[in-house]
Amino acid sequence: MEKVRFGIIGVGGMGQAHAKNIQEIEETQLTAVSDTDKKTAEKVSKEYKVTGFTDYKELLTSGLIDAVIVATPHYFHPEIGIAAMEADVHVLTEKPIAVSVKAADSLLEAAKRTGKVFGVMYQSRSLPAIRVAREIIESGRLGEIRRTLMVNPDYRCQAYYDSSTWRATWAGEGGGVLINQAPHGIDLFMLLGGMPSRVTARIRTRLHNIEVEDEADALLEYSNGAWGYYLASTDEAPSEKRIEIVGDKGKLVLENETLKFYSLKTSIPEFTLKNKAMWGGPEVVEEKLEFPECETGHSAITRNFARCILQGEELLSPGEDGIKSVEFINALILSGKKNKPVALPVDREEYKELLESLKKSSQAKKTVKVQRVTDPHFNK
């Protein structure tokens, strides 16, 4: 196999961006698309001169594809991913891998059982700053983590929420900022800072005319005694993102795509207990970091996924990692809704029950002005 033959399931805003992207990668070829909306399926299949389906199951058994990108609304990701793997098709799913941890568990189980290549579109993992931050943490230069922070805003206006029936509803999307805009940041936060063992969260709908949360924050506790802080919102601008990971040998600060690493000459516990002078503090050096020249964005993840199929290249964004952000998101929603601290891993049945009751209370939207427009930040 020289090129991986791709189908795309769900060719709205994001799916169409993937269609264009696949054309531009040497290792990939677009051979089929599917969308439940007949007009959309026809429009995109015509534009790219590939076969179009309205039923994704027909696409899976068509013999036209080796792999699929799943770019439908979130609730369908596990169902379609499992069906694809069982049809002997590799799966690159859009984020989040699922709305609930229980559904994510079944997707991971299918990947393990079928042995198909399984990736998730967390393209920020490809950024040079993230690759370097991971190396610093994995090499032990940061030391043991003492404290974390993430401020994770991603502004959206009301027209965005009004652009589809599924957006910002419990029944169609399964949450608000946490399940849609925040997962990229949360994925990085879990990747660099690790999973907390307990969260105490608040969630609210502060500004938008939507039934799900547009703001969330949480106090985090980690199993080694570290504390952390998290905030997500779609109601502040500019959408400047910040991650701080403080270790006992240094501190990493990520502001958008700019990374700084401060290392300590003596570790915090050692200096604190041994230093004799009253106003002493550990010597801090800001290290000069070298960043690799590398491909970034969606193309980097799609190419790496294709190379994993073709040559066994290690995945930058394995699908199995996708459960970490779902675990965190479910924990925050459960804690915020029940007004209590929640331990991770989340109780699967408790979250399922909560989500079912929220879905039951979900209202059909009164104002919908459909727009299927690709995010202009695509591939950044």
Ligand X SMILES: NC(=O)c1ccc[n+]([C@@H]2O[C@H](COP(=O)([O-])OP(=O)(O)OC[C@H]3O[C@@H](n4cnc5c(N)ncnc54)[C@H](O)[C@@H]3O)[C@@H](O)[C@H]2O)c1
Phi, psi dihedrals of residue 295, rounded to the nearest 5°: -70, 145
The C-alpha atoms of residue 74 and residue 77 are separated, in whole angstroms, by 5
The distance of Cα 322 from the centroid of its chain, to the nearest Å, equals: 7
* Region from 12-20, 106-114, 144-152, 250-258 binding ligand X, contact rule CB under 6 A: 12-20
3-state secondary structure of 354: helix
Nearest residue to ligand X on Cβ basis: 12
Pick 273 or 364: Cβ nearer ligand X: 364
User: Which 139-168 positions form the footprint of ligand X (CB under 6 A)?
Assistant: 164
* Region from 4-12, 141-149, 275-283, 332-340 binding ligand X, contact rule CB under 6 A: 4-12
Q: Report, in Å, the least distance between residue 220 CB and ligand X.
A: 24
Q: Report, in Å, the least distance between residue 210 CB and ligand X.
A: 15
- Does the footprint of ligand X cover residue 244 (CB under 6 A)? no
The candidate with the shortest Cα–Cα distance to 244, out of 140, 328, 150, is 150
Cα 185-95-315 angle, rounded to 5 deg: 85
Which residue among 5, 90, 95, 324 contacts ligand X (CB under 6 A)? 95
- Does the footprint of ligand X cover residue 37 (CB under 6 A)? yes
Pick 148 or 180: Cβ nearer ligand X: 180
DSSP letter at 260? E
The C-alpha atoms of residue 275 and residue 212 are separated, in whole angstroms, by 51
- Does the footprint of ligand X cover residue 74 (CB under 6 A)? yes
User: Which 315-374 positions form the footprint of ligand X (CB under 6 A)?
Assistant: 372
Which residue among 4, 25, 68, 76 contacts ligand X (CB under 6 A)? 76
* Straight-line distance from the first to the last Cα atom of the chain, in angstroms, rounded to the nearest whole number: 30
3-state secondary structure of 366: coil
The C-alpha atoms of residue 198 and residue 331 are separated, in whole angstroms, by 8
Q: Which amino acid is residue 352, in one-letter code?
A: K
- Does the footprint of ligand X cover residue 13 (CB under 6 A)? yes
Applying CB under 6 A, which residues contact ligand X?
9-15, 34-37, 40, 56, 71-74, 76, 94-95, 121, 123, 164, 180, 372, 375
